[in-house]
Amino acid sequence: MTKHNTHRQPNRRQLIQTGLAGMAGVSMVGLAQQTIAQETTAQPSQPATNSVTRRDRFADKVVMITGATSGIGRAAAIAFAREGAKVGFCGRRANLGAEVEQQIRQSGGDATYIKADVTQPKEVASFVDRIVEKYGQLDVAFNNAGDVLTKPLHEITVEEWDRTQHTNLRGVFLAMKYQIPHLLKRGGTIVITASQHTVATRPGFAAYTAAKRALLGLAQVAALDYGRQGIRVNVLSPGITDTPLFQRTTGGNPEKVEASRQLVDALKRIATAEEIAEAALFLASNDCPYITGTSLLADGGMMSGL
C-alpha cells in the first residue's frame, strides 16, 4: 500500500531543478522529508548479490581500466578479474591502486596497477604500453576515470573548466588513441563511462555535462571508424551511484542521500558500484555483439519518470 502525501509535495522535475541530491551541492533539507512520505512497504528491488552464477566471459582476455582505484572502476576491476580477465588499471592514488591489485590477487585473479593521470599523454601512453607489454595483448578498454564539478557557469574558472574537460573528455580521447592500435590487432570492445547527464541534466553541471555529452559523439564516431575492423564502442551512462564521488558530493548528509534515493522513480534506491560495473561487463562482453555506437542508461528508471 502506498501512502501519498498530496500536500506541497514537489514533483520530480522540481526536485531535479532544485539541484538534486547533493550531486548539485544544494541543500535538500525539507525536500527529503516531504518525499519520504512516498515510501512504500514493498521492497521491489534489492542490490545484486554475489549469488549470480559464476561466468568466465573474460577468460584469456586482457582488460584495461582507467580510474579503478575506487568506485565503479574498482568494482569493475574486481568483476572482470573474477570472470577470468587479466586486468591492467590506473589512477593517481598509488596506495589505493596497490590495495585493489592485492585484493584481486588474493582472490586468485591477475591484476596490475600502474600509476597514471589520464590527463597526461605520456602517462596514458606509458600505462597502455606497460600493460600490453606485460600481458601481450589488449581485448577490452573500460575508460571510466572522471570527476564532477558543480558550479553556476559564470563562476567556473578557466582552470576548473579545463580540468573537468581534461579529466572526463581528453582522458578518454588519450586512452583510446593509445589503446586502438592494440585493439585493431585482434578486435575488441571499448566502454566509456559517461553519465545520466547525457540524457537530462540539472543546474550547476555545465562543465560536467558538456564533457559527458561529448563522449557520446566520440563513441559514435569511433564505432563508425572501427566497426568493420572488429571494435565495438559504447557509452555506459550510470545514474546516481554510491561511490566516493557521490559521498564527496553529498558530504555524507543523510537528507541529501535520501533525496537522491527518492529521485530514482522506478527502483527508489541508488545504484551500487557493483551493479554499474555489471553493466560495463555486459557492454564489454560478447553477450551483445550487435550493440555499438550507443549508450546504455543504467539509472534505475530515474529518467523514465521525467
Residues with a catalytic annotation lie at 208
Identify the residue among 26, 238, 259, 279 touching ligand NAP (CB under 6 A): 238
Piece in contact with ligand NAP (CB under 6 A), picked from 101-109, 116-124, 128-136, 282-290: 116-124
Q: Within 13 Å, how many C-alpha atoms sit on residue 24's CB side?
A: 22
> Cα(102)–Cα(253) distance, rounded to whole angstroms?
32
Torsion angle in degrees (nearest 10) through CA of 270, 273, 277, 279: 0
> Cα(300)–Cα(276) distance, rounded to whole angstroms?
10
Identify the residue among 198, 209, 243, 285 touching ligand NAP (CB under 6 A): 243
Which residues within the stretch 129-148 sit at the binding site for ligand NAP (CB under 6 A)? Answer: 144-148
For the bound state, the minimum distance from the C-beta of residue 174 to ligand NAP, rounded and expressed in Å, comes to 10
For the bound state, the minimum distance from the C-beta of residue 20 to ligand NAP, rounded and expressed in Å, comes to 10
Which residue type sits at 40? T
Binding mask 273-292 for ligand NAP (x = CB under 6 A): --------------------
Piece in contact with ligand NAP (CB under 6 A), picked from 50-58, 125-133, 216-224, 236-244: 236-244
Identify the residue among 18, 112, 164, 167 touching ligand NAP (CB under 6 A): 167
If one counts every other C-beta atom within 10 angstroms of the C-beta of residue 57, the result is: 16
Decide whether 93 or 134 has the Cβ nearer to ligand NAP: 93
Torsion angle in degrees (nearest 10) through CA of 119, 120, 124, 126: -170
Which residues within the stretch 70-109 sit at the binding site for ligand NAP (CB under 6 A)? Answer: 70-73, 90-93, 96
Residue whose C-alpha is closest to residue 306's, from 239, 216, 257: 239
Which residues within the stretch 176-215 sit at the binding site for ligand NAP (CB under 6 A)? Answer: 193, 195-196
Which residue type sits at 35? T
Beta strands in 2-91 (DSSP E): 62-66, 86-91
The residue whose grid cell reads 527508489 is 268
DSSP 227: G
Decide whether 91 or 204 has the Cβ nearer to ligand NAP: 91
- Could you tell me if 141 and 157 are in contact, meaning their C-beta atoms sit under 8 angstroms apart? no
Which residues within the stretch 48-67 sit at the binding site for ligand NAP (CB under 6 A)? Answer: 66-67
Decide whether 58 or 246 has the Cβ nearer to ligand NAP: 246
What residue ranges bind ligand NAP (CB under 6 A)? 66-73, 90-93, 96, 117-119, 144-148, 167, 193, 195-196, 238, 240-241, 243-246
